[in-house]
Structure 1
Amino acid sequence: MKAFAALVHREYIEHRGAFFIAPLVMVAIVFLLTIFAFSVDRINTRFSGQMLTVMPTWVFEAGFAALAAGWLVYLGFVLFFYCADGFAADKRNNAMLFWKSMPASDLKVLLSKLTAAVTILPGSIFAVALLSIVLMFGVAYVTTMIAGLGSATLLWSILVIFAQMSLVLLVVIACALLWYLPYMALVGAMGTAAGRWAIPLALLLPSILSVLEWVVMGGGMHPFATRTWDFLNYRSQFPIAFDYLDRVWEGQQAFDAMAFTVDFLQKFDWLQVGVGAVFAFAAIYIASEYRRRSAAN
């Protein structure tokens, strides 16, 4: 167990630049630019503070959601390239023989990479995302104080919103990682065999599979009117419960993190998550066997 934890920690050390340092630098730059914009009166502090108190709950919830959505896009982007490139890193930097001398099987090494991709690597971005939102909320509250509208009640409301939205973000990230686990495992397995060529192959693979089904088994009027394409399209769209969010945006009910979480988890397709987990393990196992045999030759 200690050896496996060390392997996961190694992945974090080798890729913390993309998952921690770079996001932290971006947050620092944006924060400094924001402070600079206020200090040179590019942004009217009093007017901004007054606007924030018009609909304070909605403004802070929407601001959190918008910033969180940006971090989710960044997380998906870096995870894709990590799986495509990180699984082939040992072969590329000639470290394969070193890891072969360690008491760790190829399956354990590849599973440690996949484990890092769903735990500490996204966890780093989650922590930086919360830090960026804390800074955003802090700047917003300071502007309300400068405008003479800050109060303990508003501060407490901001803290409650932050706690609720942080819970929602954590649940969404965890479920998204489980939902896209088979994609990460497949791209990683392709990276083990094809190296960086796994990036274009992963983008072309859905089209190839759909065209193959259309040619062999027939289907609709074009190669993308197949059951394969419909299934991949379904598995590519994150199944979030929009009906609850629609009621919130329409003003029919106030946003409640626990109610959203319960509604979201109840409607989540856990059967597909289980099938995807089995597929992910199978893909990693096949990749580990290929890695073991190719290194032996």
Structure 2
Amino acid sequence: MNQLHAMYSLIRRELWEHKSLWIAPAVTAALFLVASVWGFISLVSNPTAVEQFNQHVLPQMTGDRAFDVAHGMTRASAFTIYAVMVVVLFFYALDCLYSERRDRSILFWRSLPVSDTLTVLSKLLVVLLVAPVIVLLVGLALEVLGLLLAPILVMGTDMSFGDYLQPLAALSALFGMLGDMWLLGLWFLPYFGWLFLVSAWARKAAFLWAVLPPLGVALVEWVALSSREFLKMIGHHISLPFQNAQQQDFGFRTGDLNVEASAAEITGLAGFAEPAFWIGLAVGVAFIAAAVAIRRYRGETA
């Protein structure tokens, strides 16, 4: 129980010290909401567009069709928020162990009865588990605001919704995305592990130490062997989970009105059956173990 309480406290510390973990996805969702509201206002302010929408679009947006459209669009917006989160996590993983030596806060944390292993694992859990949950919560907030604002925006107009609003489809999409995000976190573990290793080891210019060694390996391979297998291996490992992704396009074109919805439906993500998954997982665990060892035995300042 003490270990669980310590882990909970450490995760709270990470969210408190690295506010970009929740600010960045929240800002992204806010931009989505503003763009959606602006587009909706443009639609309802045009009587011809409203009439075309009611006559030609809504009849096709019923039953399973409406569910599929709402499901796909929700997943697309959630995945975009997650893509922004991945960028934030890149800099978080690169900075979280380096900054505590730079500002000497490591001296305070080492005075507490918390092991280096637990500290590094708390940061890893933020990347693998907590960040996807933050994306889920932000996505839920975005959907709730959308459902609340939509009836207000059409007040005083002749626009009707039919089956266009699908809260169950949104919930299904978001919770399905949560599993996908956890799986992708494990797929990307070797890259996050490398960033943790650099963050624990680098005395300065952590970003350059994270980027230049892989580029150096690729450059030496290209000069010495005239090949690019290293870069191809990295690119293949990153793209492999998405090879089964399907693109679903939902579109309606009626006269002067052009209403389209295009959503990337991520289905069938490659996972546990792929040897590359387990190889990458082993490499990521090795990097994390090395980061723990470096934090434990090296000096307390950058």
Mark yes or no: TM-score above 0.5: yes
In 2: Cα distance, 1:208 partner to 1:115 partner: 30
Structure 2 distance, partners of 1:49, 1:174, is: 43
1:20 aligns with 22
Residues 1:280 and 2:281 are matched in the alignment: no
Say how many residue pairs are matched: 275
The answer to whether the Cα contact below 8 Å between 2:195 and 2:210 also exists between their aligned partners in 1 is yes
**Candidates 123, 126, 146, aligned match of 2:136:** 126
Q: Does 1:182 align with 2:190?
A: yes
- Matched residue type, 1:149: S
Query: What TM-score does the superposition give when structure 1 sets the normalisation length?
Result: 0.76
Q: Is the alpha carbon distance of 1:268 and 1:172 closer, same or farther for their aligned partners in structure 2, counting shifts above 3 Å?
A: same
What amino acid is the match of 1:293? Answer: Y
Pick one of 2, 8, 12 that aligns with 2:11.
8
Partner of 2:201 in structure 1? 193
Alignment check: 8 A CA contact 1:85 1:195 kept:
no
Q: How far off its partner does 1:127 sit? A: 1.1
User: Which runs of no fewer than 5 residues in structure 1 stay unpaired?
Assistant: 252-258
Cα pair 2:43 2:50 within 8 Å, conserved: no
**Residue 63 (structure 1) aligns with:** 73
Post-superposition shift, 1:33?
Answer: 7.2
2:242 matched to 1:240? yes
Higher share in strand? 2
Question: Is the Cα contact below 8 Å between 2:187 and 2:280 reproduced in 1?
Answer: yes
The residue type equivalent to 1:182 in the other structure is P
Determine if contact 1:19/1:122 at 8 Å carries over to the other structure. Answer: no
Q: When the two structures are superposed, what TM-score results if normalisation uses the length of structure 2?
A: 0.75
Which of 58, 72, 86 aligns to 1:53? It is 58
How far apart, in 2, do the equivalents of 1:21 and 1:14 lie?
A: 12
For 1:94, what is the secondary structure of its paired residue?
coil
Check if 1:93 corresponds to 2:103. Answer: yes
- Percent sequence identity is 24
Given the superposition, is the C-alpha separation of residues 109 and 18 from structure 1 closer, same or farther in structure 2, using an over 3 Å criterion? same
Segments of 5+ residues of structure 2 without an aligned counterpart are: 252-264
**Paired AA for residue 231 in structure 1:** M
User: 1:154 Cα shift?
Assistant: 4.3
Distance 2:133 2:144 in 1: 17
For residues 250 and 23 of structure 1, the distance between their equivalents in structure 2, rounded to whole angstroms, comes to 26
CA distance in 1, matches of 2:137, 2:169: 17
Return the alpha-carbon distance in structure 2 between the equivalents of residues 138 and 193 of structure 1: 49
Q: Is the 8 A contact 1:71 1:125 kept in 2?
A: yes
Q: Give the letter aligned to residue 76 of structure 2.
A: A
CA shift at 1:207, angstroms? Answer: 2.2
Q: Bigger CA drift: 119-128 or 90-99?
A: 119-128
Between stretches 80-89 and 195-204, larger displacement belongs to 195-204
User: Structure 1, residues 11-39: CA drift from partner, whole Å, max 9, x if none?
Assistant: 12212x21223433554566467657867
**CA positional deviation for 1:79:** 0.5
Match of residue 295 from structure 1: 299
Name the structure where helix makes up a greater proportion of residues. Answer: 1
Instruction: Give the Å deviation of 1:80.
Output: 0.4
Aligned partners of 2:187 and 2:277 also within 8 Å: yes
Q: Read off the aligned partner of 2:176 and give its amino acid letter.
A: V
The answer to whether the Cα contact below 8 Å between 2:71 and 2:169 also exists between their aligned partners in 1 is yes
Distance 1:134 1:238 in 2: 33
